[in-house]
Amino acid sequence: MPAPISEPAVDAPHDAEASLETNKASIRTASKAVQEELRNRAESAAEESKEILQATALMAGDPMLIKAAIKLLSPDAPGGPRSPERAIWEAGQTVANTLTALGGYMAERATDVLDVRSRIVAALQGLPVPGIPVSDVPYILAATDLAPADTATLDPAWILALITSDGGPQSHTAILARMLGLPAVVAAAGVNGIADGTEVYVDGAAGSITTNPDDALRATAATWAAQASQIPAFSGENFLSDGLHIPLLANVGTGEDALKAAAAGAEGVGLLRTEFCFLDRESEPTVEEQITAYGGVLAAFPGKKVVIRTLDAGADKPLPFLTVADEHNPALGVRGYRTDTTSPGVLERQLQAIAMATAAHDADVWVMAPMISTAEEAANFTAMARAAGLATAGVMVEVPSAALTASAILGEADFASLGTNDLTQYTMAADRQLGPLATLNDPWQPAVLQLIKLTADGAFQAQVTTGLPKPVGVCGEAAADPALAVVLVGLGVSTLSMSARALAPVAAVLTTVSLADAQRLAAVALHAKSASAARQAVREQLPILEQLGL
């Protein structure tokens, strides 16, 4: 990937005769040009990519960024006036530093700001816009990291694999690579030193990169490509080899996502992210607007389960009408269910909208709250859902306290869904965006697996106590890993939810194992000394993975 836009020199020559207003206008014009370019790309992008490009376009016109840059144009600015390029560069760095200092999810937005900064500087300098290189042959993309606007334009038809020196296994780049079915290795030292045109062998499963591979590795790559193309399409029902039904559901964010998932054979929806209805708005959407949005998803799955997660705002998804803007640590602040304590009414109206959308469709709707930490919170949310007329109310298990007290929490709630991305981050105290912490931020970590087992065990205890079923599912990225999916079933998970693209490979592996096999492999993973050891030990006992090129 081309090198990033170079930093404009502090003392770079610029038009000293240009008026302050002219320089202000140049920044605003460049900002609008970047916004327009991103919006144009969004028009022809797939739905999930479209949302990313539209969000980046909004950031290109962020008033905080533009105003900060314009202040640096003034002769009264500390250090004297800057050129427009230098002003936007410094302003972008200041905003990014502020977000990085907040840590957690807010640090992820710093990458967006730096991406937008580079795009505006390129526009000011008349240079090509940074982005994915165009090639007339398929290639492996090597980069420091990718901005969301770049990952949104990745085309698997041309990009064979992705390798980056930064990021982590739960970073935006890694997640999108998995959604696209691209082999990827992130947080890999030495990537930036690989020269363009170098032949590279990438093993995404092992996390290894080999430059100038020999004939044996070339043959392995060819075999993998042939095997991967033979994975059968998902039949629409997933059974283990002993006949146990483990439903495979889809994670979706829009009605268009739901239609694609239904076409891929998903047995329902394990996670409907409702944020799409709230983001990029200055005010709360009306109940009627929400009913229409949710209805687009419910209509795609008549008679099937659709699990709706209530608004997971805060942290990386701040909303002006709901979240606190000046939290020092948003990842541990007022987010998810907790926003009901600071902005009462929003959750209640959302539950009303979900109930009304449910009444208008035939889907079996379940509703769950994110960021539940205590049994008291679970009881309060369940009561709110019942009051709205929703029959099945559950919780997300994303923080260790919820896993440790699962029996009490599921004494109040009807079901639990494990959000393994956040559960891993909170368990290991490791920001999922930081490359140096990639080995910690891995759902194969034995400590994370122990908490998943505790959740399933707590659900069983609650089931015995109440006499009611208390199913536990997984809707985090872990479910999309075919080997880890086997372990999750062995730990007691009864449903798995993933991107539509992951349904076929996960089903192909699960059909080859029995529940007893899964439980045995889960025990192997639980007793491993590290995430890498757990992964390797399990994969060695699943020959189907190599046979299918997984």
Domain assignment present for residue 170? The answer is yes
Total domains in the chain come to 3
Domain assignment present for residue 3? The answer is no
Lowest pLDDT segment from 141-155, 299-313, 370-384 = 141-155
Domain assignment present for residue 130? The answer is no
278 and 346 in a single domain? The answer is yes
Helices and strands in the chain, H and E counts: 22, 13
Catalytic-labelled residue, pool 14, 277, 475, 527: 475
- Greater confidence (499 vs 389) lies with 389
Domain assignment present for residue 422? The answer is yes
Please give the C-alpha separations between residue 102 and each of 148, 197, 435, in angstroms, as whole numbers: 20, 39, 17
The rounded percent of the chain whose pLDDT value lies above 70 is 89
- pLDDT reading at 346 higher than 70: yes
Alpha helices in 467-541, H assignment, sequence order: 482-491, 503-510, 515-526, 531-540
Convert the pLDDT of each residue in 326-340 to its tens digit: 666 666 777 788 888
274 and 356 in a single domain? The answer is yes
- Greater confidence (110 vs 84) lies with 84
- pLDDT reading at 299 higher than 80: yes
Domain assignment present for residue 12? The answer is no
- Judge whether 172 counts as a catalytic residue: yes
Element (H, E) at 113: helix 104-125
What range does the domain containing 391 cover? 248-542
533 and 419 in a single domain? The answer is yes
- pLDDT reading at 413 higher than 70: yes
329 and 423 in a single domain? The answer is yes
- Greater confidence (324 vs 41) lies with 41
Where among 170, 200, 228 does a domain terminate? 228
Catalytic-labelled residue, pool 172, 245, 277, 328: 172
Element (H, E) at 430: none
Model-wide pTM > 0.85: no
Convert the pLDDT of each residue in 150-191 to its tens digit: 766 777 888 888 888 877 666 667 777 777 778 888 888 888
Nearest in space to 382 (alpha carbons), one of 412, 348, 405, 349: 412
Where among 125, 151, 179 does a domain terminate? 125
213 and 285 in a single domain? The answer is no
The reported pLDDT for the residue numbered 473 is: 98
277 and 178 in a single domain? The answer is no
Phi, psi of 102 (to 5 degrees): -70, -25
Convert the pLDDT of each residue in 189-238 to its tens digit: 888 889 888 999 998 777 889 999 999 889 888 887 787 778 888 999 99
Where among 228, 257, 292 does a domain terminate? 228
Three-class SS of residue 201?
Answer: strand
381 and 488 in a single domain? The answer is yes
- pLDDT reading at 364 higher than 70: yes
Domain assignment present for residue 496? The answer is yes
255 and 370 in a single domain? The answer is yes
**pLDDT class of 143 with cuts at 50, 70, 90:** confident
464 and 341 in a single domain? The answer is yes
> Residue 38: left (phi > 0), alpha (psi -120 to 50), or beta?
alpha
The CATH number covering residue 77 comes to 1.10.274.10
459 and 398 in a single domain? The answer is yes
Domain assignment present for residue 237? The answer is no
310 and 385 in a single domain? The answer is yes
- Give how far the C-alpha of residue 114 lies from the chain's centroid of Cα atoms, to the nearest Å: 20
- Judge whether 277 counts as a catalytic residue: no
The CATH number covering residue 201 comes to 3.50.30.10
Handedness of CA 147, 444, 233, 475 (dihedral sign): negative
The reported pLDDT for the residue numbered 326 is: 61
The CATH number covering residue 363 comes to 3.20.20.60
How far is it, in rounded angstroms, from Cα 53 to Cα 42? 6
- Greater confidence (322 vs 496) lies with 496
Domain assignment present for residue 550? The answer is no
143 and 121 in a single domain? The answer is no
